[in-house]
Amino acid sequence: MSAAAARAETITAEGALIARGLRYVNAWRGRTVVIKYGGSLLGRVAGTVIEDLVALAGAGVHPVLVHGGGPEISRWLERLGRTPRFVEGLRVTDDETMEIVEMVLSGRANKTLVGRLIAAGGSAVGLSGRDARLFEAVPLVDPPGLGRVGTIVAVHPDIIHTLTAVGHLLVVASVGLDAEGEPLNLNADHAAAALAAALGASKLIVLTDVDGIFRERDGRRELLSVLTAAEARALEAEGVIAGGMIPKVEAALAALAGGVASAHIISGETPHALLVELFTEEGCGTMLVPERP
């Protein structure tokens, strides 16, 4: 092949890729995507998530970021001489621990993400789930002894609609409020799912430190690209989905049950994984859907 022919072939391939990307961008303009940013990613500038979020907002998509901060909370507890305690994977949150949880989530973690987004050229606003009664919650009673751990009973997303309508990228800390206006510690995966359903989001994307859901088959580790809700439940029963992946899958299933068309579990450390998952047919992680088309 001549140099001219090779160059023409390269231009054709690149042009087709750009055209396909633009079609997806146009299709997604004006839609809302809720993205859960894992606490394991907060301690480092991982992948290209921040730049990709700013690019999405610039393209007319409305990304809403919901974050936790478990590792950072544990570090602060230990720094203050307290031992983090968990029951069935949930943090025991007495009144003093709740003060630290809110300090980390609504303060340090939230404003770190806001600052990174602004530095990347975005217009970011940080919120707590207490702001404008965004997340109303009640104390979780099962398992007992958790203290100020809450479960969401109502979402009031008006503040999100107001701020995204004028071009702001929202960063939401997973703290709720009870009937007296006092804070409750929320699971960030569940908060993201509840918000995605309340907003009528087109997708929920859970960013974590793994590429998706895997299964061992014939001695090889296989990434499961698409799962229906029923298939995900079956894999949970088999023990294929286990450990820290369970709350992520449960959040994805809750979003689907709330009317969100699809939920995705992808790596926040892989460069441009967020854009690939949104704007290509193949994606790069695991997509959960109600049923196979």
pTM of the model: 0.89
Confidence of residue 21 (pLDDT cuts 50, 70, 90): low
Is 47 strand, coil or helix?
A: coil
Residue 17 belongs to a domain? no
pLDDT at 281: 78
Give the C-alpha distances (Å, rounded to integers) separating 118 from 171, 221, 264, 271. Answer: 12, 39, 26, 19
Residue 24 belongs to a domain? no
The helix or strand, by DSSP H or E, that contains position 203, with its residue range, turns out to be: strand 203-208
Largest CA distance in the chain: 75
Residue 96 belongs to a domain? yes
Residue 22 belongs to a domain? no
Residue 172 belongs to a domain? yes
Catalytic residue annotation = 36, 39, 70, 189, 248
* Torsion sign (Cα): 264, 269, 274, 280: negative
Q: What is the chain's mean pLDDT, rounded?
A: 90
pLDDT tens per residue across span 69-84: 989 999 999 999 999 9
* Torsion sign (Cα): 29, 34, 38, 44: positive
Residue 10 belongs to a domain? no
Confidence of residue 44 (pLDDT cuts 50, 70, 90): low
pLDDT at 243: 86
Q: Which CATH number goes with the domain that contains 174? A: 3.40.1160.10
Residue 239 belongs to a domain? yes
pLDDT tens per residue across span 257-274: 999 999 999 998 888 888
Number of domains in the chain: 1
- Percentage of residues in the chain having pLDDT higher than 70: 90
The domain containing residue 115 runs over which residues?
Answer: 29-289
139: pLDDT strictly greater than 80? yes
Residue 259 belongs to a domain? yes
- Percentage of residues in the chain having pLDDT higher than 90: 69
